[in-house]
Amino acid sequence: METITPEGAKDMLDETASAAGIQSGKVLQILRMILTGESSGPDLMATIQILGPKESASRIYHAVVTLG
């Protein structure tokens, strides 16, 4: 995937969280920390759009590998 919209990011988050048996709202703050290094900021889905799917996935992967 080369680009992603905020709506597409939200749908992907909801689908992934549902598959894991959790509510997407329970992972938003940690996802924000993983992607931006901050606990607050602009709309997270818009941030994902700006970073792009490859960079977002890379940061998530790095956090999973680093934090276990």
Per-residue pLDDT, 68: 83
Per-residue pLDDT, 34: 97
What distance in Å separates the CA atoms of residue 52 and residue 65, rounded to the nearest whole number? 20
What distance in Å separates the CA atoms of residue 42 and residue 47, rounded to the nearest whole number? 7
Tokens of 38: 């901050």
Per-residue pLDDT, 67: 92
Q: Domain coordinates of the chain in residue numbers?
A: 6-14+24-67
The amino acid at residue 18 is S
How do residues 15-36 score in pLDDT, each as one tens digit?
999 999 999 999 999 999 999 9
How do residues 38-56 score in pLDDT, each as one tens digit?
999 999 999 999 999 999 9
> What pTM was computed for the model?
0.87
State yes or no: pLDDT of 1 exceeds 90: no
